[in-house]
Structure 1
Amino acid sequence: MENGASSANKTTSVSSSLQRETEYLATLINYAIENQFSVAVWRLPNDPVKHIVISRKPQLLKREATVLEELEQGFIFAPFDRNSDTIFLPADYKFTFTDGTLRAPEHPIETTSHTWFEEKFQRVVQSKATAFHHTKNTAANSPTVADYISLVTTGIQEIEKGIMEKIVPSRTKVIDLPLEFDIVQSFQNLCRSYPNALISFVSSPETGSWLGATPEVLVGVEDKSIFRTVALAGTQPYQEGINLKSVAWTQKEIEEQALVERYVISCFKKIRVREYDEHGPKTVVAGNLMHLKSDFTVDMKAIDFPQLGSVMLQLLHPTSAVCGMPLEPALEFLKKHEGYNRQFYAGFLGPVNVSGNTNIFVNLRCMQLLDSKAILYAGAGVTIDSIPEREWSETEIKFNTMLNILK
């Protein structure tokens, strides 16, 4: 085993065997778990840079009191339930990797972190270390085809009564983790397989451990000046080489996506924001799936609205893409009929105020890691034109996003 470098700059030397990303990540994750700290690892869509933060003590944030602009650098993790606390992991230690190499510090926190790492780990970083994770006891089962079809059918009946336009019933699937399952390797597999998604691993005593690949931006704030969000809905399997311009969508899928668009626009209207750009819908690829997507952007400086990110986060979550429309009857339906606690599935997560940007995504295509098992989560958008059996098939396809990286 090699000694670490004698300075932060030497730590980033290309020749050191300690530079291997997986070794760093496994060592840092294990340090967090062993000390009952929290850890988040992520990679943004279409970005080769990977990040990890360790947080000694997460902050619990009330929904109405979450002001993104006032938070320090860190990672946010929120459950589906709007009334539950949001978890914020302030970055006590932060590291950044590019092309498998630990990058030189670009922020005071990173400078401090490099020095700490050198002093703490130069003699204990091990190659081929396997990362551990926090576990949280969770009761879950795998509903049968009949169970889910019954749930969807009930939803359609409520839609036919005019109570709702759309509902997004979800379900779980409990699987056995492979004996050779490795968190860091699985994270790297997700990064390779799904370049257009936020890839993340979050683990804390309060939340348990979650691994995922989500394509859906909820709130993005770039350089405190540009706000972004998307309307994403409709699902088809993706086949390699298909011409995206030739993809045909059914009326049901087009209307489902249009409902999400209208929901975003209604949130803008509530706060009297009229100066926004909308582009789409267009067909986009998200791993093994295709969706219809519209992009929204707002020049926050032009409209003098510096807290637009925080305000829209409160208004948007949970979006009609993961809940339904109108919001309140859809939430009531899910609470009454879905039959389980979504926890952090369909909540939101992402880096806050990292390099001057905030990137928060809806927590889709994810799994919760237990001791030797994992819980997969997936939902389907149901409208009056839905066919229950097809909605079951859609959730099966969505499960494959995570299942594929375990094979």
Structure 2
Amino acid sequence: MNIISNKIEGNFENKLPFVAYRKSNSVEVSGFFMNDDDLDFSSEINESGFVFAPFNSDEKAVIFSADKAEIINEKFNLNEELTLNISNSVVNSSDKLNHLKLVEKTIEEIKKNSLKKVVVSRKEDIQLHEFDVLITFKKLLKTYSNAFVYVWFHPKVGLWLGATPETLLNISDNNFKTMSLAGTQVYKTNEEVIWKAKELDEQQLVTDFINNQLKNISSKLKIEKTETVKAGNLLHLRTKVEGVLNEEATLKQIIRGLHPTPAVCGLPREKAKDFILKNEHYNRTFYTGFLGELNIEKKSSLFVNLRCMNVKDKVATLYIGGGITKDSNPQKEWEETIAKSKTIKQVL
């Protein structure tokens, strides 16, 4: 059995904080394991450790400090049989009605004022007959090789797991890489991928936003050609962006510039965020926040917290959203959330 497997089970049983994670297309799993249940926050984004930040950038991010953690890196054995679930869970009809109403209201709001895009979401509670934190983490690892997969726990905050396809920021010294990720369709074998104007426009909005946010604090900005990428059973549009951070610019500046991106919030950002906080009628907490390594050997590797869930008292709360523009169709937006929820349901 892996050392990290033992540590996950031990820390979880003893209610001690930890995070274990694997980066995209890697065979190595890393872990930060804490020896006390202190709850530490990062405010200046200058600490060294693993950061877990909420969607609302006005709220504090939790930090597992590197100097207080036992840090382990190892190749992870995933040879055992792990059975995935075929999700037949029935979505509450009131959940559907509420989401359709929210999407309709969002479209109306976009058409009558300066909003160009708003990302609205919903949560869905799944009753669990049994739950094993390690087995669920292993299922995520085995199923989503090209995602950032993690399990994060703090007894004073909760248990989160996810498999996100979206990088917020990779930075080494002053060289950084980020991406815009938008547009969603279900992957169908042997079918040509065709993107409609709505998805292409939505993707361009995110790319333009990143360009505008970074052009004044960086140089050598390079925006690559948009490509289609697969994440679980879904396809997305992705545009890679890289550059060099100006010497006077800080890591906090670039993170504040990017987070929350239009891929999880909207445009203009503050107006979209205000609409979300007033109209979603639930607290996203860490869904669509960011997480990852912060200032480890002068490198940071941060990811947007998508395709994730919070587990408490044998209830898994899933979070699913989609980008709404003036051309959105409420029924199709609902179906997109159903497709996204299947990604995470099959590991439960």
Tell me which residue corresponds to 2:30.
Answer: 51
Aligned to 1:299: 244
Compute the displacement of 1:299 (Å): 3.1
The reply on whether 1:389 has 2:339 as its aligned counterpart is no
Cα 1:203–1:99, aligned 2, differ >3 Å: closer, same or farther? Answer: closer
- Alignment equivalent of 2:263, drawn from 301, 306, 321: 321
Query: What are the Cα deviations for residues 226-281 of structure 1, in whole angstroms up to 9, with x where unaligned?
Result: 20110000001113455xxx411010000011111111011113x34342111121
Q: Using a 3 Å threshold, how does the CA distance of structure 1 residues 189 and 142 change in structure 2: closer, same or farther?
A: farther
Q: 3-state SS of the aligned residue for 1:169?
A: strand
Alignment of 1:49-198 (within 5 A): 49-55=28-34, 56=36, 57-62=38-43, 65-67=44-46, 71-72=47-48, 74-91=49-66, 92-100=69-77, 144-179=95-130, 181-198=131-148
Greater relative contact order (Cα < 8 A, sep 6+): 2
1:33-73 deviations in whole A, cap 9, x for unaligned?
Answer: 455431000000011100111123342122xx223xxx22x
Instruction: For 2:248 and 2:169, locate their aligned partners in 1 and report how far apart those are by CA, in whole Å.
Output: 14
Which residue in the other structure is 1:377 paired with?
A: 319
Question: Larger C-alpha radius of gyration, 1 or 2?
Answer: 1
Q: How far apart, in 2, do the equivalents of 1:233 and 1:340 lie? A: 23
SS in 2 for 1:81: coil
Change (3 A) 1:356 1:40: same
Cα distance change of structure 1 residues 221 and 340 upon mapping to structure 2, 3 Å threshold: same
Q: Which has more strand, going by share of residues?
A: 2
Aligned-partner residue type, residue 72 of structure 2: F
Say which SS state the counterpart of residue 104 (structure 2) adopts.
helix
In angstroms, what is the RMSD of aligned CA positions? 2.0
Deviation for aligned residue 1:29 = 2.5
Q: Does 1:230 align with 2:179?
A: yes
Letter matched to residue 7 of structure 2: L
What secondary structure is seen at the aligned counterpart in 1 of 2:163? strand
* 8 Å Cα contact 1:225/1:306 also seen in 2: no
Shift of 1:316: 1.1
Secondary structure of the corresponding residue to residue 156 of structure 2: coil
Please report the TM-score for the alignment, with normalisation by the length of structure 1. Answer: 0.77
Q: Which of 355, 360, 372 is residue 302 of structure 2 equivalent to?
A: 360
1:267 paired with 2:213, answer yes
CA distance 1:370–1:47, shift in 2 (3 Å): same
User: Do the aligned partners of 1:79 and 1:343 also contact (CA within 8 Å) in 2?
Assistant: yes
* Equivalent position amino acid for 2:222 in 1: D
| Closer, same or farther: CA 48–156 of 1 in aligned 2, 3 Å | same
Q: Using the TM superposition, give the Cα deviation of residue 312 of structure 1 relative to its aligned residue in structure 2, in angstroms.
A: 1.1
Q: Which residue type is aligned with residue 89 of structure 1?
A: F
Name the CA distance, whole Å, in 2 between partners of 1:51 and 1:208. Answer: 20
Question: d(CA) in 1 for partners of 2:272 and 2:320?
Answer: 17
Matched with 1:10 is none
Kept in 2, the 8 Å contact 1:80–1:347? The answer is: yes
Q: 2:83: which partner in 1?
A: none
Q: Is the 8 A contact 1:142 1:173 kept in 2?
A: no
Match 2:194 to one of 248, 259, 269: 248
* 2: CA distance, partners of 1:48 / 1:306: 34
Amino acid at match of 2:165: P
User: 1:343 aligns to what?
Assistant: 285
The letter for the 1-side match of 2:169 is: V
The offset of 1:356, in angstroms, is 4.9
Query: Does the aligned pair in 1 maintain the 2:148–2:303 contact within 8 Å?
Result: yes
2:132 & 2:304 partners in 1: Cα distance?
A: 24
Gaps in structure 1 of 5+ consecutive residues: 1-19, 102-140
C-alpha deviation, 1:305, in angstroms: 5.5
CA distance in 2, matches of 1:97, 1:178: 31
Among 26, 42, 45, the residue aligned to 2:21: 42
Number of aligned residue pairs = 331
Instruction: Output the TM-score relative to the length of structure 2.
Output: 0.90
Equivalent position SS for 2:324: coil
The 3-state SS of whatever aligns with 1:380 is: strand
Letter in 2 for 1:97: E
